[in-house]
């Protein structure tokens, strides 16, 4: 049974989230660190370099890592306060088993006992229902070594086809589109190429909040004369000063980019030589986009036609450019088409594979890139190999020391796994680095599925909302308690270094997997001495694949500040910029720079389909979701860090004054947001920086504060990404939830003076400042 053992508030009283703040050693300026460890931030895909100060096996602070070239000391507030996740009162330092009679619903048990019990339950489930009755959920915040290991563990040790990961909510639309168009799934350029771009297009990326360091590249490009075009339903901080802002109606991105391509064709803003020599499929796409005339595009996207024309001219006539996109265009039931439509305008311009000419998705998770390459995806084997391809299976079987037929075939995406749990096909689950109860859409369904599991084991460092449903929780490791590699936004493989030892009986995740394999009596290929040993095996496993890491070593990463894959041999310099002529390409083998046998990139027709749930009379408002700068993903870590919670303590619903006035909702007052799946009550933030037909709620919170109670579980048919960015809701004014103040409040808007914030938001300038003195 995987129902919650106690009420949510009773669980929270023991396991948090509680807030960790600077105190003790962390506040003492007299402390001399025992050592300072060069590593990277544990949060987003920017993977900023950071130096952690360690005293008495505790990370007590940080120093900027000025010498790491990507961020040169810069950090966002999450990076600054990341160290407060360690030495945390909520930290799981012993194994826990479900016990409704225990305070908090869990009882500590010796680690070995928890491992034995887990192994025996897995054996029982698999002997009763078959190997595929066990599922594995993994995550893209793990090091690449661990992601490789999880894929191998599922296929070789558990022998189940059912493994998938939380990158399914993140990277997969871009990945699928990149594979279709380029044959390779990686940002095509190092971020340096942004600096020299004449035109930068940012589509569906709240860059300033979700990938803050990228801001510095964009601003520097503008100092150099670059123009900025931003596509977003909200005026985010990166959009505020854009040269052209395109406030797209959520769900219509593909129309916009098809409309832009149509204008490029009409005005002959095309690179004919490039299209002729390096691509196939242009004519079909050109024919398809004819229907998206400027007027029709404007009407469908809700963007002024003159803005569309201005954007097309800027893009069409530029000599250099960089186009980047993120979840804003990817989280759709046509997320793959959205991405393909942006790639089409890039290919038509011919501006790729050269200095200052770039394209890429801005990865979200810490190892969003490396975590999607080496086999924890349902359909994938290491090196971006295809689990359905007999040659690929044979190669990996050789590396793993198994027969090819022993490797299971493709499983299903993580949401489909929950449907299989609901249907009784999957009876047992092992989860690591994934909090689906908060992060998956329509999470009431996810909760019901979790409750149906016969056995659920979670490996976690805090008791996440999902782990609260577990029968056994194995205490895993924090980022700073292990070493390994990750691959950041540019495709640069970098090294995470260990700063402290795991506390108590907590241990590194790869050791836990090894212990479990031993207890199962299936230790073959599962026992490692170190992450380095896993990495050495991964190098071999990736050799000859598209994501080839075989030339990368820990030593090279340290010496070169990271190595860009593909890197097929130790004397190969790595590949910072893809698609340059003559660059390494194991697929085209000299026929051209793109990863297809003919070496040519693909134009792919990107047809518009409406969102799965469009607005109607009953639910007339579009709900779109996203992030805030001070929180990360499902908040398991960041909702436990005091200063980050202070900065943005709870979700608010952003809406335009016109929409608010229509419903009598006031700034700072309570509003109810309802969809066909659920409702939530939260404070409104009434601002003109959002489309009047759209409301926005960030998704980092759990329980009644989780916007994923409302979102829809519709998925892209190819990538299986959920449609987080569009569903239909209605809004109304609401009474305060029980225990909350009913008065409108000044929402906290900054980290310093609270009363001033109130005045800035609500008082007139005359009240705030006296009349200026008269000048004579």
178-237: contacts with other proteins (CB under 8 A): 208-209, 212-213, 215-216, 219-220, 222-224, 235-237
Question: What DSSP assignment string belongs to 172-189?
Answer: HHHHHHHHHHHSS-S-SS
Min separation Cβ 684 and other proteins, Å: 12
HSE of 745, CA atoms in CB hemisphere, 13 A: 13
Min separation Cβ 640 and other proteins, Å: 16
Of 1, 13, 284, 304, which lies in the binding site for other proteins, with binding defined by CB under 8 A? 304
Of 25, 587, 745, 757, which lies in the binding site for other proteins, with binding defined by CB under 8 A? 757
Of 56, 299, 391, 614, which lies in the binding site for other proteins, with binding defined by CB under 8 A? 299
Select 223 or 276, whichever has its Cβ closest to other proteins. Answer: 223
The alpha-helical segments, DSSP class H, found in 583-656 are 642-647
Min separation Cβ 172 and other proteins, Å: 27
Encoded tokens for 58:
């505790």
Residue 732, C-beta contacts closer than 8 angstroms, at least 6 positions apart: 663, 665, 671, 672, 674
User: What is the CB neighbour count within 10 angstroms for residue 30?
Assistant: 5
Select 70 or 565, whichever has its Cβ closest to other proteins. Answer: 70
Of 693, 732, 740, 744, which lies in the binding site for other proteins, with binding defined by CB under 8 A? 693
Contacts (CB under 8 A) with other proteins, residues 626-655: 629-630, 643, 647
Encoded tokens for 624:
């779109």
* Stretch of 94-102, 133-141, 377-385, 749-757 contacting other proteins, by CB under 8 A: 749-757
Residue 177 near residue 341 (C-beta atoms within 8 A): no
Contacts (CB under 8 A) with other proteins, residues 5-34: 22, 27-29
Contacts (CB under 8 A) with other proteins, residues 355-414: none
C-alpha 633, offset from chain centre: 7
Encoded tokens for 294:
């400027």
With 0-12 / 13-18 / 19 or more C-beta atoms within 10 angstroms meaning exposed / middle / buried, residue 403 is exposed
C-alpha distance from residue 672 to each of 365, 657, 685 (Å): 30, 16, 13
* Stretch of 281-289, 299-307, 348-356, 577-585 contacting other proteins, by CB under 8 A: 299-307
Phi, psi dihedral angles at 463 (to 5 degrees): -80, 90
Residue 511, C-beta contacts closer than 8 angstroms, at least 6 positions apart: none
Tokens 């070169």 appear where? 560
Select 298 or 433, whichever has its Cβ closest to other proteins. Answer: 298
Rg (CA), the chain: 26
Select 692 or 733, whichever has its Cβ closest to other proteins. Answer: 692
Select 276 or 771, whichever has its Cβ closest to other proteins. Answer: 771
Encoded tokens for 352:
């790729």
Encoded tokens for 719:
């990538």
Binding mask 572-611 for other proteins (x = CB under 8 A): ----------------------------------------
* Stretch of 335-343, 373-381, 617-625, 746-754 contacting other proteins, by CB under 8 A: 746-754
Min separation Cβ 286 and other proteins, Å: 27
Q: Which helix (H) or strand (E) holds 381?
A: strand 380-381
Select 587 or 759, whichever has its Cβ closest to other proteins. Answer: 759
Contacts (CB under 8 A) with other proteins, residues 417-446: none
Under the binding rule (CB under 8 A), the answer on residue 157 touching other proteins is no
Select 609 or 750, whichever has its Cβ closest to other proteins. Answer: 750
* Stretch of 378-386, 499-507, 527-535, 761-769 contacting other proteins, by CB under 8 A: 761-769
Residue 623 near residue 71 (C-beta atoms within 8 A): no
Min separation Cβ 295 and other proteins, Å: 11
Residue 54 near residue 33 (C-beta atoms within 8 A): yes
Of 392, 683, 691, 730, which lies in the binding site for other proteins, with binding defined by CB under 8 A? 691
Min separation Cβ 182 and other proteins, Å: 29
Contacts (CB under 8 A) with other proteins, residues 232-271: 235-238, 240-241, 245, 247, 249
* Pairwise CA distance, residues 245 & 249, whole Å: 13
Side by side, which strands form the sheet with 563-564?
Answer: 484-487, 492-496, 563-564
Under the binding rule (CB under 8 A), the answer on residue 62 touching other proteins is yes
Select 658 or 704, whichever has its Cβ closest to other proteins. Answer: 658
Tokens 């995406």 appear where? 413
Strand partners, 485: 495
HSE of 546, CA atoms in CB hemisphere, 13 A: 26
Min separation Cβ 398 and other proteins, Å: 45
* Pairwise CA distance, residues 229 & 243, whole Å: 6
Select 42 or 114, whichever has its Cβ closest to other proteins. Answer: 42
Min separation Cβ 190 and other proteins, Å: 18
Under the binding rule (CB under 8 A), the answer on residue 695 touching other proteins is no
Contacts (CB under 8 A) with other proteins, residues 65-94: 66, 71, 73-77, 79-81
Select 218 or 433, whichever has its Cβ closest to other proteins. Answer: 218
Min separation Cβ 665 and other proteins, Å: 13
Under the binding rule (CB under 8 A), the answer on residue 772 touching other proteins is yes
Size of interface with other proteins, in residues (CB under 8 A)? 74
Numbers of helices and strands, H then E, in the chain: 26, 28
Strand 357-361, strand 321-325: pairing:
parallel
Contacts (CB under 8 A) with other proteins, residues 657-676: 657-658, 667
Select 23 or 598, whichever has its Cβ closest to other proteins. Answer: 23
* Pairwise CA distance, residues 208 & 189, whole Å: 20
Strand partners, 280: 602
Select 302 or 316, whichever has its Cβ closest to other proteins. Answer: 302
Range 344-367 burial, b when 16+ CB lie within 10 A, else e: bbbbbbbbbbeebbbbbbbbbbbb
Specify the DSSP class assigned to residue 108: E
Q: Which helix (H) or strand (E) holds 683?
A: strand 679-686
Under the binding rule (CB under 8 A), the answer on residue 766 touching other proteins is yes
């Amino acid at each position: 049974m995987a129902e919650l053992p106690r009420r949510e508030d009773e669980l929270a009283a023991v396991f948090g989230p509680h807030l960790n703040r600077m105190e003790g050693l962390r506040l003492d300026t007299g402390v001399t660190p025992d050592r300072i460890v060069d590593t990277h931030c544990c949060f987003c895909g920017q993977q900023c370099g950071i130096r952690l100060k360690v005293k008495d096996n505790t990370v007590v602070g940080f120093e900027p890592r000025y010498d790491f070239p990507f961020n040169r000391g810069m950090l966002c507030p999450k990076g600054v306060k990341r160290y407060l996740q360690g030495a945390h009162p909520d930290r799981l330092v012993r194994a826990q088993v479900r016990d409704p009679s225990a305070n908090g619903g869990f009882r500590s048990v010796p680690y070995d006992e928890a491992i034995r019990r887990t192994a025996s339950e897995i054996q029982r489930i698999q002997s009763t229902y078959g190997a595929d009755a066990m599922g594995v959920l993994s995550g893209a915040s793990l090091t690449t070594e661990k992601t490789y290991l999880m894929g191998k563990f599922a296929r070789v040790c558990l022998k189940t086809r059912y493994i998938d990961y939380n990158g399914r909510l993140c990277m997969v639309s871009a990945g699928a589109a990149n594979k279709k168009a380029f044959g390779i799934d990686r940002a095509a350029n190092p971020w340096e190429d942004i600096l020299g771009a004449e035109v930068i297009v940012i589509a569906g990326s709240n860059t300033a909040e979700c990938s803050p360091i990228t801001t510095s590249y964009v601003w520097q490009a503008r100092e150099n004369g670059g123009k900025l075009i931003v596509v977003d339903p909200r005026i985010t901080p990166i959009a505020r000063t854009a040269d052209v802002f395109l406030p797209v109606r959520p769900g219509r991105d593909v129309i916009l980019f098809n409309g832009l391509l149509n204008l490029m064709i009409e005005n002959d803003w095309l690179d004919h030589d490039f299209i002729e020599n390096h691509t196939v499929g242009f004519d079909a796409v050109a024919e398809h986009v004819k229907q998206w005339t400027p007027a029709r595009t404007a009407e469908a996207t809700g963007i002024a036609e003159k803005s569309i024309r201005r954007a097309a001219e800027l893009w069409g006539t530029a000599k250099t450019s960089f186009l980047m996109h993120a979840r804003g265009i990817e989280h759709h039931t046509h997320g793959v088409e959205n991405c393909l439509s942006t790639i089409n305008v890039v290919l038509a311009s011919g501006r790729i594979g050269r200095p200052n000419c770039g394209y890429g998705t801005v990865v979200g998770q810490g190892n969003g890139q490396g975590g999607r390459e080496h086999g924890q995806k349902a359909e994938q084997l290491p090196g971006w190999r295809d689990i359905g391809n007999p040659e690929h299976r044979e190669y990996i079987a050789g590396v793993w020391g198994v027969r090819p037929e022993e490797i299971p075939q493709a499983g299903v995406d993580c949401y489909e796994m929950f449907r299989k749990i609901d249907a009784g096909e999957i009876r047992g689950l092992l989860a690591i680095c994934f909090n689906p109860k908060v992060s998956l859409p329509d999470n009431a369904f996810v909760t019901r599925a979790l409750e149906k599991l016969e056995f659920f084991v979670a490996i976690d460092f805090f008791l996440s909302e999902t782990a609260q449903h577990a029968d056994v929780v194995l205490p895993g490791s924090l980022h700073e308690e292990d070493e390994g590699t990750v691959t950041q936004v540019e495709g640069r493989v970098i090294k995470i270094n260990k700063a402290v030892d795991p506390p108590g009986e907590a241990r590194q995740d790869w050791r836990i997997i090894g212990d479990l394999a031993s207890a199962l009596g299936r230790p073959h290929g599962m026992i490692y001495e170190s992450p380095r040993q896993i990495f050495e095996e991964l190098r071999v496993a990736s050799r000859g694949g598209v994501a080839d890491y075989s030339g990368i070593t820990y030593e090279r990463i340290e010496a070169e500040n990271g190595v860009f894959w593909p890197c097929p041999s130790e004397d190969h310099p790595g590949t910072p910029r893809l698609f340059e002529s003559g660059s390494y390409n194991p697929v085209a083998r000299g026929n051209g720079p793109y990863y297809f046998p003919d070496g040519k990139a693909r134009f792919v027709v990107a047809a518009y389909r409406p969102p799965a749930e469009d607005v109607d009379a009953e639910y007339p408002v579009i709900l779109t979701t996203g992030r805030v700068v001070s929180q990360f993903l499902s908040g398991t870590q960041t909702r436990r860090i005091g200063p980050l919670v202070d900065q943005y303590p709870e979700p608010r619903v952003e809406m335009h004054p016109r929409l608010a006035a229509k419903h009598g909702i006031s700034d700072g007052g309570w509003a109810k947001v309802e969809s066909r799946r659920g409702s939530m009550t939260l404070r409104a933030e009434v601002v003109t920086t959002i489309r009047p037909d759209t409301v926005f709620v960030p998704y980092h919170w759990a329980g009644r504060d989780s916007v994923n109670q409302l979102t829809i579980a519709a998925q892209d048919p190819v990538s299986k990404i959920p449609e987080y960015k569009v569903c239909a809701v209605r809004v109304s004014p609401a009474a305060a939830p029980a225990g909350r103040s009913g008065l409108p409040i000044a929402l906290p808007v900054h980290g310093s003076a609270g009363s001033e914030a109130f005045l800035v938001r609500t008082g007139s300038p005359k009240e705030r400042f006296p009349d200026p003195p008269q000048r004579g």
